[in-house]
Chains A and B, each alone.
Chain A
Amino acid sequence: MKICLLSYRGNPYCGGQGIYLMYLAEEFVRQGHEVHVIVGPPYPREVEGVTIHRLSNHNYFNKKSDFIKPHKPFATYQPLNFYEFVSSKMGIFPEIETFSFRVFMKLKELMKTHRFDVIHDNQCLGYGFMLIKLLGVPFVSTIHHPLSIDRSTWFEYPSDFGIKMKRVLYYPLIMQKFVSNRMDRIVTVSYDSAREITNAFGVPDKKISVVYNGMDPSIFYPLKGIRKKKNSLIFVGNVEDRKKGISYLLKSLTLTRHDVHLTIVDGGAPNRNYVPSWITKFGLNHKITFTGKIPIEQLIRLYSETEVALSPSIYEGFGFPAAEAMACELPVITSTGGALPEVVGEHMKTGYFVPTRDAQAIAEGIDFLLDHPDIRRSMGKAARERVLKVFTWQNAAKEMVRIYEEAIDAHR
Protein backbone atom coordinates (compact mmCIF):
# COMPACT_ATOMS: atom_id res chain seq x y z
CA MET A 1 0.00 0.00 0.00
CA LYS A 2 1.23 3.52 -0.76
CA ILE A 3 0.60 5.65 2.32
CA CYS A 4 1.05 9.40 2.72
CA LEU A 5 1.25 10.61 6.32
CA LEU A 6 0.76 14.28 7.16
CA SER A 7 1.84 16.08 10.31
CA TYR A 8 2.15 19.81 10.85
CA ARG A 9 4.87 19.19 13.42
CA GLY A 10 7.19 16.22 13.47
CA ASN A 11 9.38 16.52 16.55
CA PRO A 12 9.93 12.90 17.57
CA TYR A 13 11.29 13.73 21.02
CA CYS A 14 8.47 15.57 22.68
CA GLY A 15 4.72 15.73 22.31
CA GLY A 16 2.73 12.76 21.13
CA GLN A 17 2.44 13.82 17.49
CA GLY A 18 6.01 13.31 16.31
CA ILE A 19 6.35 10.03 18.21
CA TYR A 20 3.13 8.75 16.68
CA LEU A 21 4.15 9.78 13.18
CA MET A 22 7.59 8.23 13.14
CA TYR A 23 6.74 4.97 14.89
CA LEU A 24 3.80 4.39 12.57
CA ALA A 25 5.90 5.25 9.52
CA GLU A 26 8.66 2.87 10.63
CA GLU A 27 6.22 0.08 11.31
CA PHE A 28 4.44 0.54 7.95
CA VAL A 29 7.80 0.22 6.18
CA ARG A 30 8.60 -2.88 8.21
CA GLN A 31 5.28 -4.38 7.09
CA GLY A 32 6.13 -3.73 3.43
CA HIS A 33 4.24 -0.54 2.67
CA GLU A 34 5.58 2.50 0.82
CA VAL A 35 5.49 5.52 3.12
CA HIS A 36 5.77 9.22 2.37
CA VAL A 37 5.63 11.78 5.17
CA ILE A 38 4.78 15.43 4.57
CA VAL A 39 5.77 17.27 7.70
CA GLY A 40 6.25 20.77 9.08
CA PRO A 41 9.04 21.86 11.46
CA PRO A 42 10.44 20.70 13.83
CA TYR A 43 11.26 17.87 11.45
CA PRO A 44 11.55 14.22 12.38
CA ARG A 45 14.77 12.25 12.14
CA GLU A 46 15.51 10.29 8.96
CA VAL A 47 13.97 6.84 8.91
CA GLU A 48 15.12 4.16 6.50
CA GLY A 49 12.55 3.51 3.82
CA VAL A 50 10.45 6.59 4.63
CA THR A 51 10.45 9.48 2.15
CA ILE A 52 10.20 12.72 4.10
CA HIS A 53 8.91 15.88 2.40
CA ARG A 54 9.63 18.93 4.54
CA LEU A 55 7.29 21.91 4.43
CA SER A 56 8.92 24.91 6.00
CA ASN A 57 7.15 27.79 7.66
CA HIS A 58 8.23 31.01 9.34
CA ASN A 59 6.96 30.14 12.82
CA TYR A 60 5.38 33.57 13.10
CA PHE A 61 3.35 32.59 16.15
CA ASN A 62 6.35 31.82 18.33
CA LYS A 63 8.86 34.26 16.88
CA LYS A 64 8.26 37.77 18.09
CA SER A 65 11.19 39.05 16.01
CA ASP A 66 13.75 37.53 13.62
CA PHE A 67 11.03 35.99 11.51
CA ILE A 68 12.63 37.15 8.25
CA LYS A 69 14.75 34.49 6.60
CA PRO A 70 17.79 36.30 5.14
CA HIS A 71 17.76 34.17 2.00
CA LYS A 72 14.01 34.79 1.45
CA PRO A 73 13.42 38.34 2.69
CA PHE A 74 10.11 38.85 0.88
CA ALA A 75 8.54 35.50 1.74
CA THR A 76 6.33 37.13 4.38
CA TYR A 77 4.60 39.15 1.65
CA GLN A 78 3.41 35.94 -0.06
CA PRO A 79 -0.35 35.64 0.51
CA LEU A 80 -0.35 32.52 2.73
CA ASN A 81 2.61 33.73 4.75
CA PHE A 82 1.13 37.21 5.07
CA TYR A 83 -2.13 35.74 6.32
CA GLU A 84 -0.17 33.59 8.80
CA PHE A 85 1.82 36.62 9.92
CA VAL A 86 -1.19 38.92 10.46
CA SER A 87 -3.36 36.33 12.18
CA SER A 88 -0.58 35.11 14.48
CA LYS A 89 0.05 38.70 15.56
CA MET A 90 -3.63 38.86 16.49
CA GLY A 91 -3.27 35.83 18.75
CA ILE A 92 -4.68 33.22 16.37
CA PHE A 93 -2.64 30.03 15.89
CA PRO A 94 -2.70 29.72 12.10
CA GLU A 95 0.04 27.11 11.63
CA ILE A 96 -2.44 24.24 11.39
CA GLU A 97 -4.57 25.96 8.78
CA THR A 98 -1.71 27.20 6.62
CA PHE A 99 -0.05 23.78 6.80
CA SER A 100 -3.21 22.25 5.36
CA PHE A 101 -3.02 24.55 2.32
CA ARG A 102 0.71 23.99 1.89
CA VAL A 103 0.12 20.24 2.04
CA PHE A 104 -2.50 20.53 -0.67
CA MET A 105 -0.01 22.25 -2.96
CA LYS A 106 2.66 19.69 -2.14
CA LEU A 107 0.28 16.78 -2.72
CA LYS A 108 -0.80 18.20 -6.06
CA GLU A 109 2.84 18.20 -7.07
CA LEU A 110 3.53 14.71 -5.66
CA MET A 111 0.42 13.20 -7.21
CA LYS A 112 1.94 13.82 -10.66
CA THR A 113 4.42 11.04 -9.93
CA HIS A 114 2.83 9.10 -7.06
CA ARG A 115 -0.60 7.57 -6.71
CA PHE A 116 -1.27 7.29 -2.99
CA ASP A 117 -3.76 4.68 -1.80
CA VAL A 118 -4.53 6.63 1.32
CA ILE A 119 -3.65 9.93 2.97
CA HIS A 120 -3.49 9.94 6.76
CA ASP A 121 -3.42 13.21 8.67
CA ASN A 122 -2.12 13.53 12.22
CA GLN A 123 -4.46 15.98 14.05
CA CYS A 124 -4.19 18.91 11.65
CA LEU A 125 -7.73 19.15 10.26
CA GLY A 126 -7.25 22.45 8.44
CA TYR A 127 -9.58 23.95 5.86
CA GLY A 128 -7.04 23.08 3.14
CA PHE A 129 -8.10 19.46 3.59
CA MET A 130 -11.31 20.25 1.74
CA LEU A 131 -9.12 20.84 -1.31
CA ILE A 132 -7.15 17.64 -0.66
CA LYS A 133 -10.44 15.73 -0.69
CA LEU A 134 -10.86 16.87 -4.30
CA LEU A 135 -7.78 14.82 -5.21
CA GLY A 136 -9.95 11.73 -4.84
CA VAL A 137 -7.78 9.76 -2.41
CA PRO A 138 -9.28 8.21 0.75
CA PHE A 139 -8.46 10.58 3.58
CA VAL A 140 -8.19 9.53 7.21
CA SER A 141 -7.31 11.65 10.21
CA THR A 142 -6.07 10.86 13.68
CA ILE A 143 -7.40 13.02 16.49
CA HIS A 144 -5.44 12.30 19.65
CA HIS A 145 -8.02 14.21 21.65
CA PRO A 146 -10.21 17.22 20.87
CA LEU A 147 -8.50 20.51 21.70
CA SER A 148 -11.65 21.72 23.45
CA ILE A 149 -10.32 19.81 26.47
CA ASP A 150 -7.09 21.80 26.44
CA ARG A 151 -9.13 24.98 26.30
CA SER A 152 -11.37 24.11 29.24
CA THR A 153 -8.47 22.94 31.41
CA TRP A 154 -6.81 26.29 30.74
CA PHE A 155 -9.95 27.99 31.96
CA GLU A 156 -9.96 26.17 35.27
CA TYR A 157 -6.64 27.69 36.29
CA PRO A 158 -6.39 31.24 37.60
CA SER A 159 -6.04 33.64 34.72
CA ASP A 160 -7.33 36.99 33.56
CA PHE A 161 -9.46 38.17 30.70
CA GLY A 162 -6.46 38.70 28.40
CA ILE A 163 -5.20 35.15 28.84
CA LYS A 164 -8.66 33.67 28.40
CA MET A 165 -9.21 35.70 25.25
CA LYS A 166 -5.91 34.42 23.86
CA ARG A 167 -6.86 30.83 24.66
CA VAL A 168 -10.23 31.15 22.91
CA LEU A 169 -8.50 32.53 19.82
CA TYR A 170 -5.64 30.03 19.97
CA TYR A 171 -7.53 26.76 19.56
CA PRO A 172 -8.95 26.25 16.04
CA LEU A 173 -11.98 24.33 17.27
CA ILE A 174 -14.52 25.58 14.72
CA MET A 175 -12.24 24.60 11.85
CA GLN A 176 -11.42 21.20 13.33
CA LYS A 177 -15.08 20.47 13.98
CA PHE A 178 -15.98 21.40 10.41
CA VAL A 179 -13.17 19.38 8.83
CA SER A 180 -13.37 16.31 11.09
CA ASN A 181 -16.98 15.76 10.07
CA ARG A 182 -15.92 15.68 6.44
CA MET A 183 -13.05 13.18 6.71
CA ASP A 184 -13.56 9.63 5.43
CA ARG A 185 -12.56 8.12 8.77
CA ILE A 186 -11.38 9.38 12.14
CA VAL A 187 -8.87 7.36 14.12
CA THR A 188 -8.24 8.01 17.76
CA VAL A 189 -6.03 6.53 20.44
CA SER A 190 -8.50 5.53 23.16
CA TYR A 191 -12.19 4.86 23.72
CA ASP A 192 -12.39 7.82 26.06
CA SER A 193 -10.98 10.08 23.38
CA ALA A 194 -13.52 8.67 20.89
CA ARG A 195 -16.33 9.70 23.26
CA GLU A 196 -14.83 13.15 23.67
CA ILE A 197 -14.54 13.59 19.89
CA THR A 198 -18.21 12.74 19.50
CA ASN A 199 -19.12 15.19 22.28
CA ALA A 200 -16.92 18.02 21.08
CA PHE A 201 -17.08 17.73 17.30
CA GLY A 202 -20.26 15.74 16.77
CA VAL A 203 -18.47 13.09 14.70
CA PRO A 204 -20.70 9.98 14.65
CA ASP A 205 -19.46 6.92 16.59
CA LYS A 206 -19.47 4.69 13.52
CA LYS A 207 -16.99 6.97 11.77
CA ILE A 208 -14.45 6.73 14.60
CA SER A 209 -12.02 3.83 15.07
CA VAL A 210 -9.83 3.31 18.11
CA VAL A 211 -6.24 2.22 17.62
CA TYR A 212 -4.09 2.28 20.74
CA ASN A 213 -0.66 3.85 20.50
CA GLY A 214 2.36 1.60 20.79
CA MET A 215 5.35 1.71 23.07
CA ASP A 216 8.90 0.85 22.06
CA PRO A 217 10.10 -1.77 24.56
CA SER A 218 13.61 -1.62 23.14
CA ILE A 219 13.85 2.00 24.29
CA PHE A 220 11.78 1.91 27.46
CA TYR A 221 12.92 -0.94 29.69
CA PRO A 222 14.18 -1.23 33.26
CA LEU A 223 17.96 -0.87 33.54
CA LYS A 224 19.57 -3.60 35.61
CA GLY A 225 21.85 -2.93 38.53
CA ILE A 226 20.60 0.59 39.22
CA ARG A 227 19.83 1.44 42.84
CA LYS A 228 16.55 3.18 43.52
CA LYS A 229 16.79 6.49 45.35
CA LYS A 230 14.76 6.43 48.57
CA ASN A 231 11.40 8.24 48.40
CA SER A 232 12.03 9.38 44.86
CA LEU A 233 9.20 10.40 42.56
CA ILE A 234 9.12 11.35 38.90
CA PHE A 235 6.78 13.40 36.76
CA VAL A 236 7.33 13.64 33.01
CA GLY A 237 5.48 16.26 31.00
CA ASN A 238 4.99 19.90 30.24
CA VAL A 239 4.30 21.52 33.61
CA GLU A 240 2.51 24.44 31.98
CA ASP A 241 0.08 22.14 30.19
CA ARG A 242 -3.02 22.63 32.31
CA LYS A 243 -4.23 19.11 31.55
CA LYS A 244 -1.35 17.59 33.49
CA GLY A 245 -2.79 18.45 36.90
CA ILE A 246 0.51 19.77 38.24
CA SER A 247 -1.08 22.00 40.91
CA TYR A 248 -2.73 18.97 42.54
CA LEU A 249 0.55 17.10 42.41
CA LEU A 250 2.39 19.97 44.10
CA LYS A 251 -0.22 20.23 46.81
CA SER A 252 -0.05 16.47 47.41
CA LEU A 253 3.66 16.79 48.19
CA THR A 254 2.74 18.99 51.15
CA LEU A 255 0.42 16.26 52.44
CA THR A 256 2.65 13.16 52.29
CA ARG A 257 4.10 11.59 55.42
CA HIS A 258 7.37 10.77 53.65
CA ASP A 259 10.18 13.15 52.91
CA VAL A 260 9.85 12.78 49.16
CA HIS A 261 11.85 14.24 46.30
CA LEU A 262 10.20 14.87 42.94
CA THR A 263 12.11 15.02 39.68
CA ILE A 264 10.27 16.87 36.94
CA VAL A 265 11.30 16.13 33.38
CA ASP A 266 9.91 18.95 31.27
CA GLY A 267 10.73 21.04 28.25
CA GLY A 268 13.13 23.36 30.08
CA ALA A 269 13.07 26.82 31.66
CA PRO A 270 11.50 28.76 28.76
CA ASN A 271 8.43 26.55 29.14
CA ARG A 272 7.87 27.39 32.81
CA ASN A 273 5.72 30.38 33.67
CA TYR A 274 3.43 29.83 36.63
CA VAL A 275 4.71 26.59 38.16
CA PRO A 276 7.92 27.93 39.80
CA SER A 277 5.85 30.46 41.77
CA TRP A 278 3.41 27.75 42.85
CA ILE A 279 6.35 25.62 44.03
CA THR A 280 7.56 28.53 46.14
CA LYS A 281 4.06 29.13 47.43
CA PHE A 282 3.76 25.51 48.57
CA GLY A 283 7.28 25.69 50.11
CA LEU A 284 8.56 22.86 47.92
CA ASN A 285 11.72 24.34 46.42
CA HIS A 286 13.98 21.89 48.28
CA LYS A 287 11.84 18.89 47.27
CA ILE A 288 11.74 19.38 43.52
CA THR A 289 14.37 19.20 40.79
CA PHE A 290 13.73 20.19 37.20
CA THR A 291 15.85 18.40 34.62
CA GLY A 292 14.70 20.32 31.55
CA LYS A 293 14.99 18.55 28.22
CA ILE A 294 17.14 15.43 28.57
CA PRO A 295 18.24 12.65 26.20
CA ILE A 296 16.11 9.53 26.20
CA GLU A 297 18.93 7.44 27.76
CA GLN A 298 19.00 9.79 30.75
CA LEU A 299 15.22 9.55 31.08
CA ILE A 300 15.41 5.74 31.16
CA ARG A 301 18.09 5.98 33.82
CA LEU A 302 15.92 8.36 35.84
CA TYR A 303 12.99 5.96 35.60
CA SER A 304 15.25 3.16 36.83
CA GLU A 305 16.48 5.24 39.77
CA THR A 306 13.01 6.30 40.86
CA GLU A 307 10.54 4.51 43.11
CA VAL A 308 7.21 5.91 41.93
CA ALA A 309 6.00 7.71 38.78
CA LEU A 310 3.14 10.20 38.86
CA SER A 311 0.62 11.00 36.21
CA PRO A 312 -2.12 13.06 37.91
CA SER A 313 -3.56 14.46 34.68
CA ILE A 314 -6.99 16.00 34.55
CA TYR A 315 -7.22 14.60 31.05
CA GLU A 316 -5.09 12.46 28.72
CA GLY A 317 -6.12 11.25 25.27
CA PHE A 318 -3.65 8.40 25.78
CA GLY A 319 -0.88 9.25 28.24
CA PHE A 320 2.55 8.38 26.86
CA PRO A 321 4.43 9.30 30.08
CA ALA A 322 2.39 6.82 32.11
CA ALA A 323 2.95 4.06 29.54
CA GLU A 324 6.67 4.84 29.35
CA ALA A 325 7.04 4.60 33.12
CA MET A 326 5.09 1.33 33.09
CA ALA A 327 7.39 -0.04 30.38
CA CYS A 328 10.29 0.75 32.73
CA GLU A 329 8.64 -1.35 35.48
CA LEU A 330 7.74 1.68 37.53
CA PRO A 331 4.54 1.73 39.59
CA VAL A 332 2.45 4.67 38.41
CA ILE A 333 0.07 6.73 40.50
CA THR A 334 -2.37 7.91 37.95
CA SER A 335 -5.60 9.83 37.94
CA THR A 336 -8.75 8.51 36.36
CA GLY A 337 -8.65 11.39 33.88
CA GLY A 338 -9.45 10.63 30.26
CA ALA A 339 -7.85 7.50 28.86
CA LEU A 340 -5.44 6.87 31.74
CA PRO A 341 -7.50 4.00 33.19
CA GLU A 342 -7.56 2.38 29.73
CA VAL A 343 -3.79 2.68 29.44
CA VAL A 344 -2.74 1.89 32.98
CA GLY A 345 -5.17 -0.97 33.44
CA GLU A 346 -6.20 -2.20 36.85
CA HIS A 347 -6.06 -0.45 40.23
CA MET A 348 -3.54 -2.01 42.64
CA LYS A 349 -2.41 -4.46 39.96
CA THR A 350 -0.87 -2.53 37.08
CA GLY A 351 -1.15 0.94 38.64
CA TYR A 352 -2.55 2.98 41.51
CA PHE A 353 -5.61 5.06 40.63
CA VAL A 354 -6.70 8.28 42.26
CA PRO A 355 -9.61 10.54 41.35
CA THR A 356 -8.76 13.59 39.24
CA ARG A 357 -8.09 16.87 41.07
CA ASP A 358 -7.58 15.09 44.41
CA ALA A 359 -4.31 16.09 46.08
CA GLN A 360 -5.13 14.16 49.26
CA ALA A 361 -5.64 10.93 47.30
CA ILE A 362 -2.34 11.44 45.43
CA ALA A 363 -0.56 11.94 48.77
CA GLU A 364 -2.16 8.76 50.17
CA GLY A 365 -1.09 6.88 47.05
CA ILE A 366 2.49 8.09 47.41
CA ASP A 367 2.58 7.09 51.10
CA PHE A 368 1.03 3.70 50.38
CA LEU A 369 3.47 2.79 47.61
CA LEU A 370 6.50 4.09 49.49
CA ASP A 371 5.43 2.00 52.50
CA HIS A 372 5.06 -1.19 50.42
CA PRO A 373 8.17 -2.01 48.36
CA ASP A 374 6.81 -5.48 47.46
CA ILE A 375 3.66 -4.03 45.96
CA ARG A 376 5.75 -1.46 44.09
CA ARG A 377 7.85 -4.23 42.60
CA SER A 378 4.96 -6.48 41.58
CA MET A 379 2.97 -3.51 40.26
CA GLY A 380 5.93 -2.42 38.13
CA LYS A 381 6.36 -5.91 36.66
CA ALA A 382 2.64 -6.24 35.90
CA ALA A 383 2.67 -2.78 34.34
CA ARG A 384 5.49 -3.67 31.95
CA GLU A 385 3.77 -6.93 31.02
CA ARG A 386 0.61 -5.01 30.20
CA VAL A 387 2.48 -2.51 28.01
CA LEU A 388 4.29 -5.28 26.12
CA LYS A 389 1.03 -7.12 25.54
CA VAL A 390 -1.37 -4.32 24.66
CA PHE A 391 0.61 -1.37 23.33
CA THR A 392 2.78 -2.31 20.37
CA TRP A 393 3.36 -0.29 17.23
CA GLN A 394 3.14 -3.51 15.27
CA ASN A 395 -0.48 -3.97 16.37
CA ALA A 396 -1.20 -0.29 15.84
CA ALA A 397 0.12 -0.37 12.25
CA LYS A 398 -1.78 -3.59 11.42
CA GLU A 399 -5.01 -2.17 12.77
CA MET A 400 -4.41 1.07 10.89
CA VAL A 401 -3.94 -0.78 7.60
CA ARG A 402 -7.27 -2.54 8.20
CA ILE A 403 -8.92 0.89 8.64
CA TYR A 404 -7.24 2.15 5.47
CA GLU A 405 -8.60 -0.84 3.56
CA GLU A 406 -12.10 -0.10 4.83
CA ALA A 407 -11.75 3.54 3.82
CA ILE A 408 -10.47 2.55 0.38
CA ASP A 409 -13.36 0.09 -0.10
CA ALA A 410 -15.89 2.71 0.97
CA HIS A 411 -14.30 5.18 -1.43
CA ARG A 412 -14.66 2.93 -4.49
Chain B
Amino acid sequence: MPRAKIWGFIAVFLSVFLLAFVIYAIFIGKNDHAIPVDLNAIGVMTYYSMAAPLLLISLFVLGIGFWIGWTIITIKVVPPMPEIVEKNDYSKIKAAVLCAVTLAAALMLVYGFYLRAYWALAIPAAVISLVVLGAVFWVGIAIITTRSTLPKGKEES
Protein backbone atom coordinates (compact mmCIF):
# COMPACT_ATOMS: atom_id res chain seq x y z
CA MET B 1 0.00 0.00 0.00
CA PRO B 2 1.42 3.49 -0.85
CA ARG B 3 2.70 5.43 2.13
CA ALA B 4 0.19 8.27 1.49
CA LYS B 5 -2.72 5.85 1.91
CA ILE B 6 -1.27 4.48 5.12
CA TRP B 7 -1.13 8.03 6.52
CA GLY B 8 -4.65 8.60 5.22
CA PHE B 9 -5.84 5.58 7.23
CA ILE B 10 -3.97 6.84 10.28
CA ALA B 11 -5.66 10.28 9.93
CA VAL B 12 -9.08 8.64 9.61
CA PHE B 13 -8.62 6.31 12.59
CA LEU B 14 -7.10 9.02 14.74
CA SER B 15 -9.91 11.48 13.99
CA VAL B 16 -12.59 8.83 14.63
CA PHE B 17 -10.92 7.83 17.89
CA LEU B 18 -10.61 11.44 19.05
CA LEU B 19 -14.18 12.23 17.98
CA ALA B 20 -15.45 9.27 19.99
CA PHE B 21 -13.27 10.30 22.91
CA VAL B 22 -14.53 13.91 22.84
CA ILE B 23 -18.16 12.81 22.69
CA TYR B 24 -17.69 10.27 25.46
CA ALA B 25 -15.70 12.59 27.71
CA ILE B 26 -18.01 15.57 27.30
CA PHE B 27 -21.44 14.00 27.15
CA ILE B 28 -21.32 10.50 28.59
CA GLY B 29 -18.44 9.98 30.96
CA LYS B 30 -18.30 13.40 32.57
CA ASN B 31 -19.45 12.07 35.93
CA ASP B 32 -17.19 9.01 35.93
CA HIS B 33 -15.50 10.10 39.12
CA ALA B 34 -18.66 10.33 41.20
CA ILE B 35 -18.00 14.05 41.82
CA PRO B 36 -19.89 16.17 39.25
CA VAL B 37 -17.82 18.60 37.18
CA ASP B 38 -17.59 21.79 39.23
CA LEU B 39 -15.90 24.64 37.39
CA ASN B 40 -16.20 26.84 40.50
CA ALA B 41 -13.55 24.67 42.09
CA ILE B 42 -11.04 25.80 39.43
CA GLY B 43 -8.89 28.87 40.03
CA VAL B 44 -9.83 32.12 38.29
CA MET B 45 -6.78 32.15 35.99
CA THR B 46 -7.22 28.51 34.99
CA TYR B 47 -10.91 28.99 34.30
CA TYR B 48 -10.47 32.09 32.16
CA SER B 49 -7.55 30.68 30.22
CA MET B 50 -9.80 27.78 29.18
CA ALA B 51 -13.10 29.57 28.92
CA ALA B 52 -12.21 32.92 27.32
CA PRO B 53 -10.88 31.52 24.00
CA LEU B 54 -13.84 29.18 23.75
CA LEU B 55 -16.26 31.99 24.49
CA LEU B 56 -14.65 34.32 21.93
CA ILE B 57 -14.66 31.69 19.18
CA SER B 58 -18.29 30.79 19.95
CA LEU B 59 -19.39 34.42 19.96
CA PHE B 60 -17.55 34.98 16.70
CA VAL B 61 -19.38 32.07 15.04
CA LEU B 62 -22.75 33.11 16.48
CA GLY B 63 -22.00 36.69 15.38
CA ILE B 64 -21.52 35.47 11.81
CA GLY B 65 -24.87 33.68 12.02
CA PHE B 66 -26.57 36.82 13.30
CA TRP B 67 -24.90 38.95 10.64
CA ILE B 68 -26.11 36.61 7.87
CA GLY B 69 -29.68 36.84 9.13
CA TRP B 70 -29.47 40.59 9.61
CA THR B 71 -28.09 41.11 6.10
CA ILE B 72 -30.92 39.06 4.57
CA ILE B 73 -33.51 41.02 6.53
CA THR B 74 -32.12 44.49 5.88
CA ILE B 75 -30.80 44.35 2.32
CA LYS B 76 -32.90 46.54 0.05
CA VAL B 77 -33.35 45.22 -3.46
CA VAL B 78 -35.76 45.52 -6.36
CA PRO B 79 -38.37 42.73 -6.19
CA PRO B 80 -37.84 39.92 -8.71
CA MET B 81 -39.67 39.89 -12.03
CA PRO B 82 -43.03 38.14 -11.32
CA GLU B 83 -42.74 35.90 -14.40
CA ILE B 84 -39.72 34.05 -13.02
CA VAL B 85 -40.92 33.68 -9.45
CA GLU B 86 -41.81 30.03 -8.84
CA LYS B 87 -42.48 29.86 -5.13
CA ASN B 88 -42.98 32.14 -2.17
CA ASP B 89 -39.83 33.43 -0.58
CA TYR B 90 -39.82 33.01 3.21
CA SER B 91 -36.17 33.86 3.58
CA LYS B 92 -36.79 37.03 5.63
CA ILE B 93 -38.82 35.07 8.19
CA LYS B 94 -36.13 32.38 8.36
CA ALA B 95 -33.48 35.07 8.66
CA ALA B 96 -35.38 36.62 11.58
CA VAL B 97 -35.48 33.20 13.25
CA LEU B 98 -31.73 32.81 12.66
CA CYS B 99 -31.10 36.22 14.27
CA ALA B 100 -33.27 35.34 17.27
CA VAL B 101 -31.67 31.91 17.73
CA THR B 102 -28.09 33.16 17.48
CA LEU B 103 -28.80 36.09 19.78
CA ALA B 104 -30.44 33.82 22.36
CA ALA B 105 -27.58 31.31 22.10
CA ALA B 106 -25.03 34.10 22.57
CA LEU B 107 -26.84 35.44 25.64
CA MET B 108 -27.13 31.96 27.13
CA LEU B 109 -23.47 31.34 26.46
CA VAL B 110 -22.35 34.55 28.13
CA TYR B 111 -24.62 33.86 31.11
CA GLY B 112 -23.32 30.30 31.35
CA PHE B 113 -19.77 31.59 31.13
CA TYR B 114 -20.52 34.00 33.98
CA LEU B 115 -22.06 31.20 36.08
CA ARG B 116 -19.18 28.86 35.21
CA ALA B 117 -21.67 26.34 33.90
CA TYR B 118 -20.18 23.12 32.55
CA TRP B 119 -22.28 23.11 29.35
CA ALA B 120 -21.27 26.67 28.43
CA LEU B 121 -17.78 25.33 27.86
CA ALA B 122 -18.54 21.75 26.91
CA ILE B 123 -20.84 22.44 23.97
CA PRO B 124 -18.54 24.94 22.19
CA ALA B 125 -15.54 22.68 22.85
CA ALA B 126 -17.42 19.71 21.41
CA VAL B 127 -18.57 21.65 18.34
CA ILE B 128 -15.09 23.01 17.59
CA SER B 129 -13.55 19.56 18.05
CA LEU B 130 -16.18 17.95 15.84
CA VAL B 131 -15.60 20.49 13.05
CA VAL B 132 -11.80 20.18 13.11
CA LEU B 133 -11.72 16.40 13.51
CA GLY B 134 -14.52 16.03 10.96
CA ALA B 135 -12.38 17.93 8.45
CA VAL B 136 -9.33 15.77 9.28
CA PHE B 137 -11.50 12.69 8.73
CA TRP B 138 -12.83 14.02 5.41
CA VAL B 139 -9.34 14.77 4.10
CA GLY B 140 -8.13 11.37 5.32
CA ILE B 141 -10.90 9.63 3.39
CA ALA B 142 -10.06 11.74 0.33
CA ILE B 143 -6.39 10.67 0.58
CA ILE B 144 -7.39 7.01 0.84
CA THR B 145 -9.80 7.15 -2.10
CA THR B 146 -7.71 9.32 -4.43
CA ARG B 147 -6.49 7.30 -7.36
CA SER B 148 -2.95 8.18 -8.35
CA THR B 149 -2.30 8.68 -12.01
CA LEU B 150 1.39 9.29 -11.46
CA PRO B 151 4.11 6.82 -12.36
CA LYS B 152 4.86 4.46 -9.48
CA GLY B 153 8.21 6.01 -8.65
CA LYS B 154 6.69 9.44 -8.08
CA GLU B 155 3.73 8.40 -5.96
CA GLU B 156 5.32 8.89 -2.61
CA SER B 157 7.30 12.06 -3.16
Contact = CB atoms under 8 A, between A and B. Distances in A.
B60 to A, nearest CB: 12
Contacts of A159: 89, 91
Interface residues of A, number: 36
A303 to B, nearest CB: 28
B148 interface: yes
Interface string B117-148: 00000000000000110011011001100111
A409 to B, nearest CB: 40
Interface in A63-78: 65-68, 70-71, 73-74, 76-77
Interface in B60-82: 64, 67-68, 71-72, 75-81
B95, B138, B142, B147 interface centre (most CB from chain A within 10 Å): B142
B80, B138, B139 interface centre (most CB from chain A within 10 Å): B139
B94 interface: yes
B72 A164 contact: yes
A66 B146 contact: yes
A71 B149 CA distance: 9
B33 interface: no
Contact of B135 (A73, A85, A152, A155): A85
A153 B131 CA distance: 32
A164 B150 CA distance: 41
Interface of B: 4, 7-8, 11, 64, 67-68, 71-72, 75-81, 83-87, 89-91, 94-95, 131-132, 135-136, 138-139, 142-143, 146-150, 154-155, 157
A66 B149 CA distance: 12
B78 A156 contact: yes
Contact of B95 (A76, A153, A161, A278): A161
A59 to B, nearest CB: 13
The 4 residue pairs across chains A and B that have the minimum distance between CB atoms: A73-B4, A161-B91, A70-B148, A156-B77
Given A77-B139, A85-B135, A357 B89 contact: no
A74 B83 contact: no
Given A71-B155, A168-B72, 17 more contacts: A70-B147, A70-B150, A70-B155, A73-B4, A74-B7, A76-B142, A82-B139, A86-B132, A152-B75, A152-B77, A156-B77, A159-B89, A161-B90, A161-B91, A161-B94, A248-B81, A251-B83
Contacts of A282: 83
Contacts of A164: 72, 91, 95
A82 B94 CA distance: 31
A165 B71 CA distance: 9
B157 A71 contact: yes
B98 to A, nearest CB: 8
A68 B8 CA distance: 11
A151 B68 CA distance: 12
A169 B155 contact: no
Contacts of A152: 75-77
B139 A168 contact: no
A158 B80 contact: yes
Contacts of A151: 75
Contact of A165 (B8, B68, B81): B68
A74 B76 CA distance: 44
A109 interface: no
B68 A169 contact: yes
A160 interface: yes
